[in-house]
A and B are shown apart, each in its own frame.
Chain A
């Protein structure tokens, strides 16, 4: 009788104890699924959308000058992602430089070149080849390209005076007129 009652009470205690092992396993599985879901969501987000506030970034040029986007508020920013190994980038290099020289005297348009996963010697050769004079710098740690979630190069982001993205060009510009057509409306505001 005594043995039976002891066994019964032990069994009762066991059945009342929460199954910690199972809880831990399920918590781990759900945690992993949550991380996976966040990663998939980010991967499917796509590039920064037109109308969105552009994420702030800091670019250190090849000359060592540091440029922060927040300091360029009040100006139209033409942000171009390129690489020396990118053949399509060469198609628009001359147009970008021509446009820069056209708008530079105004002082309210800034061209910035972000060199994407490149080597400095080749990048400098590229800049010299196309006689590019607007500020260019490497995308260290691919932080800027990740902030904009670019898919490749070349990509150009036209940012207005309030740091809002107003237009995007995926691939090279077909002509100088196309590029100016994206900038001019912002200057008329």
Chain B
């Protein structure tokens, strides 16, 4: 009985050591998930079919580009690096958000300016509706020269 227990203990100890050795290893990097790939693909446009984000594009070419993103992610590339790679390969137009350089600055400034200008125009319009029109004093015109008969008639009527 003692021997049996000793043997059992030895086996358990050995198993623990072996398993412990396995547990001591760092877990390897997991493959990128579809969500991770699509999160980056959402910020890119299909270089061929215009105005379609890469995450929803159904063409074979788009599937290949998503695979490319997956490959780069598994190599440890960051989102910024992957996007820069796409820009180097296919140009700025592949980005969902145009980079703020050159004429692209207009995209960021013009719409807010137009909205502000429109708000200002509306404000002035409402303001003019609220304020009553200023009463302009008309100059008193000298009475038109009445004929004698009318003047005498007026005088007689006043006396009465």
Contacts and interface: CB of A to CB of B under 8 A. Distances in A.
Interface of A: 25, 28, 32, 35, 83, 85, 117-119, 122, 138, 140-143, 146
Contact of B47 (A25, A32, A142, A146): A142
A140 B47 contact: no
B52 to A, nearest CB: 13
A35 B103 contact: yes
List 8 tightest A-B contacts by C-beta distance, closest first.
A85-B61, A117-B47, A142-B91, A141-B91, A119-B64, A119-B68, A117-B90, A85-B60
A142 B103 contact: no
B90 A122 contact: no
B117 interface: yes
Nearest to B65: A119
Contacts of A85: 48, 59-61, 64
A138 B60 contact: no
A140 B88 CA distance: 6
Contacts of A140: 88-89
Interface residues of B, number: 20
A117 B47 CA distance: 7
A35 B109 CA distance: 15
A140 B106 CA distance: 26
Which secondary structure characterizes the binding site on chain A? Answer: helix
Task: Provide the main secondary structure of the chain B interface.
Answer: helix
Contacts of A83: 48, 61
A149 to B, nearest CB: 14
Interface string B79-114: 000000001111101000000000100100010010
B61 A25 contact: no
A32 B68 contact: no
B69 to A, nearest CB: 10
Contacts of B68: 119
Contacts of A141: 87-91
Contact of A138 (B89, B93, B110): B89
B84 to A, nearest CB: 12
Contacts of B117: 25
Nearest to B68: A119
A117 B86 CA distance: 10
Contacts of B106: 32, 35
29 contacts: A25-B117, A28-B113, A32-B106, A35-B106, A85-B48, A85-B59, A85-B61, A85-B64, A117-B47, A117-B48, A117-B61, A117-B89, A117-B90, A118-B61, A119-B64, A119-B65, A119-B67, A119-B68, A138-B89, A141-B87, A141-B88, A141-B89, A141-B91, A142-B47, A142-B90, A142-B91, A142-B93, A143-B91, A146-B91
A83 B80 CA distance: 26
Nearest to B71: A121
Given A32-B110, A83-B61, A85-B60, 17 more contacts: A28-B113, A32-B106, A35-B103, A83-B48, A85-B48, A85-B64, A117-B89, A118-B61, A119-B64, A119-B65, A140-B89, A141-B87, A141-B88, A141-B89, A141-B91, A142-B47, A142-B90
